[in-house]
Structure 1
Amino acid sequence: MYRLIAFNEVSANFTANFGISISPYFDRNGSNKSGLLQFITHKFVRYLARNFGYERTDSLESFVCQRYGKPAWTLLCRLKQ
């Protein structure tokens, strides 16, 4: 889990790996209350399914690794914690 103070670095890393902004996929209110970046995993998975054809029969790990690479999967795992 990332601390909220690292948002700029995490946002830049997310954009570099996935090519989109992290803004729609984190909970600002929850993050401000806890001090930790609260990533909304189900919303991001829905984005992958809608825009890139991710089927939930495949593992998320294999889909992300094939499409974006291992560093993107590592980042996503850290965000999901």
Structure 2
Amino acid sequence: MAKKVWTFEVEGQRHVVELEHGYWSGKRDIVIDGVPFESSSKIYDTGSVHHFDISGVPCVLRIESKLLTFDYELYVGGKKVTASK
């Protein structure tokens, strides 16, 4: 299972987005600032895109399939945020 954590600031306030993703199970749990946002799974995991707002700023979390691995990207206000894990 992959775990990714992004920490960033919006309007001077610190925010944290966490993702746990099961490579083989397709299960994904997304937590925003300690609050569960989404928990889902896919039988055939081809990736997914998740949209949400933080303090009115649009955010996009992308899970992209790369053959036998996955890439994870978070965009906040259109800018890519680097994961800390």
Same-fold call, TM cutoff 0.5: no
More strand per residue = 2
Give the structure-1-normalised TM-score.
0.30
| Structure with more contact order per residue of length (Cα contacts < 8 Å, sep ≥ 6) | 1
More helix per residue = 1
